[in-house]
Structure 1
Amino acid sequence: MKNFEIAVIPGDGIGKEVVPVSLKVLDTVAEIHGGLKFQYREFPWSCEYYLEHGQMMPDDGLDILKNFEAIFLGAVGNPKIVPDHVSLWGLLIKIRREFEQSVNIRPAKYFKGLRSPLVNPNDFDLIVVRENSEGEYSEVGGRIHRGEDEMAIQNAVFTRRGTERAMRYAFELAKQRRGHVTSATKSNGIVHSMPFWDEIFKEVKQDYPQIVTDSCHIDALAAFFVTRPQIFDVIVASNLFGDILTDIGGAIMGSIGIAPAANINLDGKYPSMFEPVHGSAPDIYGKGIANPIGQIWTAKMLLDHFGELELGQKLLDVIEDVTNDGIKTPDIGGKASTREVANEICQRLRKADKLVQR
């Protein structure tokens, strides 16, 4: 019996609605597997927690979390009560940085039953590997002076170690997929960090002669995501470039609300964290209409991380079939509730398992 202990942080807004139903889906997958079990411990860390305690998580929060095998996060943020920079840096980014979750991976694909804004999506299926610990999102910099001489300096920090590990992850991932890696760069405009990025990419690809590679400037790459996304397999990008590209990925799927993400600790020293890309959507919280697909697809990525690739693919196939049959929430053109979508996914997982047993 494989037993995995998962720390659950529903967080804010719709996170408190989509996380519980997604755990039921995970439990259904475990039930079907027979030799798999998940144990959950939920933590109330959120903006509401901040209002009561003055911090997004307790002082020993990271010490508590490090004993789990994964973190399942819902959504963080409610700017009406806590500024975003406080909520994000006090919980989400704190976990990413302190737990050395140096790679963020986000897939995007033509999703059955979801209307892509592209005239001809051509069944695109891509995944972005985003460097997750440094780059343009470093904290190095500051502000000086006031008035007309005021100045803000933001330093982008690229290390060989951080850059190379993201690239190697991308190449290893491509070996499991279609064998192609695209590097996102901008060395014709950013004269220090991007040539450095390009040099390391050229070095790393020498160790993967079986992988086809190319390098593309981020402005052109963003355009190609819209005009011909089907040409891409794995894209490796810096922190900022990866952030931008993955939002485009969600858009061309037809909804950012279904996009998943995984923050990966590469050496297993700390747990990895799995979260949907969407925000907390406080405007619809409590209405029971939040789209659970992003969170459930995130559960699929958690299964993949634990080596249950076949189960993960089975879950994604069922999610697509349910969506394709019109059982979906109002944000993507349906009339179903959050629970109805999740319950249908659970029912079809059980039905598919019974058919296999016959």
Structure 2
Amino acid sequence: MSKSYSIAVIPGDGIGREVVPAAQAVLDLCASRFGFSLEWEEFDWSCERYVKTGSMMPEDGLDRLRPADGIFLGAVGFPGVPDHVSLWGLLIPIRRAFDQYINLRPVKSLKGVPGALSSPFADKIDLCVVRENSEGEYSEIGGRINRGREDEAAIQQSVFTRQGCDRVMRYAFDLAERRSRRVASATKSNGIIHSMPFWDERFDAIANEYPEVETSRYHIDILTAHFVRHPEWFDVVVASNLFGDILSDLGPALVGSIGIAPGANINPERRHPSMFEPVHGSAPDIAGQGVANPIGQVWSGAMMLEHLGEPEAARCVEAAIEELLADPSAPRTRDLGGTAMLRDVTFALKSIISH
């Protein structure tokens, strides 16, 4: 009997409802080729649900996700529902309940996709942003006082724990050992007086455990400049929740399109399901038009296959993406300068995998 994996599917909002089914079709085809199956269970948790019911997901939502082998998410957010409501009502509770403390976002130049840089190394970018995904600047601690008055104030507190810093840094160093043995840390210890010096101390402590790995440290402001000017310097970049969020949007923009960028929210110990989602948002301006690029969602699916223990299938999907993008006659969506529809790109990917 072939192996089967249970996958919870949350298409979410906007173009998520379009790119998720497209990616499912590609992944199902690849799974069939490699002798396993993906059993999808769909959940309609979204901003539309929030408007109707007052919540992004039901009270037992996390319990319903818990048995899954993986979670496949589209995009969350839509006009009319404040972003902090949609994010804290669905995405962040899933990340934290399932201890998905690693947010992994690869950034890679692909043949046939013109990047935004004039650097001689622009076509050789191949790095990973390892973002701390459970604490840091994205905490719930804080509040508002004196609402509506001239002295109104908002207070937001960051949380950096030794456990949180150490485990994301060890993950980054372990990843670097499988790549080119280089890790760069994003910091801002010259301006943020408590949390960032602590981050630096923990980075130095973990680096001592990996004497074979070359390390560097950059303040986040100059690091963003170096991403643009010297992308060849970087292989694995480890960053706090906020800094990693910024860098992992900048990176895909440099290599051509945020529409093709994948992402993963990982519980490395596999005690809980991990969640896979593209970097792009719900793009309400093009939702429903059939013009969205499905590649980011498909590539996120390849990361899911890798995590599930199907590396050959994952490489098959990635190879299909690379072959498609390298072919100048292949269909391209508008974010890549083409006029193709989502269905055209999906069909082309399936055709490559079939052959």
What TM-score, normalized to structure 1? Answer: 0.94
Residues 53-111 of structure 1 show CA distances to partners (whole Å, capped at 9, x for unaligned) of 2211111111000010110000111123x222211111111211222111101111112
Separation in structure 2 between the aligned mates of residue 52 and residue 70 of structure 1, nearest angstrom: 27
Contact kept? 2:333, 2:345, Cα under 8 Å: yes
Identity %: 58
Cα-Cα RMSD = 1.3
Deviations 1:127-152 (A, max 9, x none): 00000111111111122235343322
Do the aligned residues in 1 keep the contact of 2:101 with 2:266 (CA within 8 Å)? Answer: yes
In the alignment, is the contact (CA less than 8 A) between 2:30 and 2:316 conserved in 1? no
- Partner Cα distance (2:108, 2:76) in 1: 25
**Runs of 5+ in structure 2 lacking a partner?**
none
On the 8 A contact 1:122/1:230 being kept in 2, the answer is no
Match for residue 278 of structure 1?
280
Number of equivalences: 349
Counterpart-to-counterpart distance in 2, 1:284 and 1:219: 32
Aligned partners of 1:100 and 1:265 also within 8 Å: yes
1:183-194 correspondence runs (5 A) = 183-194=185-196
Farther off after superposition, 240-249 or 303-312: 303-312
SS of alignment partner, residue 62 of structure 1: helix
Distance 2:43 2:5 in 1: 17
Report the 3-state secondary structure (helix = DSSP H, G, I; strand = E; otherwise coil) of the residue aligned with 1:100.
Answer: coil
Residue 349 of structure 2 is matched in structure 1 by 345
Question: 2:260, 2:192 → 1: CA distance?
Answer: 33
Q: Which moved more, 1:207-216 or 1:310-319?
A: 310-319
Q: Report the Cα offset of residue 122 of structure 1.
A: 4.0
1:279 Cα offset (Å): 1.1
- Supply the distance in 1 between the matched residues of 2:295 and 2:123 (Cα, whole angstroms): 22
2-structure distance, mates of 1:252, 1:74: 23
Q: Which amino acid aligns with 1:54?
A: G
Contact 2:110 2:123 in 1 (8 A): no
Matches within 5 A, 1:318-357: 318-326=320-328, 327-351=331-355
- Name the stretch that deviates more: 209-218 or 20-29: 209-218
User: Which residue matches 1:233?
Assistant: 235
Q: Which residue of 2 aligns with 1:130?
A: 131
**Structure 1, unaligned runs of 5 or more:** 352-358
Matches within 5 A, 1:151-230: 151-230=153-232
CA distance in 1 between partners of 2:97 and 2:89 (Å): 11
Residue 17 of structure 2 is matched in structure 1 by 16
The separation in 2 between residues aligned to 1:286 and 1:48, in whole angstroms, is: 14
CA distance in 2, matches of 1:210, 1:97: 32
Runs of 4+ in 1 over 6 A off after TM superposition: none
SS at match of 1:282: coil
Amino acid aligned to 2:51: L
Whether contact under 8 Å (1:124, 1:231) holds in the other structure is no
- Compute the displacement of 1:181 (Å): 0.8
Aligned residue number for residue 40 of structure 1? 40
Partner in structure 2 of residue 71 of structure 1:
71
**Number of the residue aligned with 1:115:** 114
* Paired residue secondary structure (1:6): strand
In structure 2, give the amino acid aligned to 1:138. S
Matches of 2:233 and 2:312 in 1, distance apart? 25
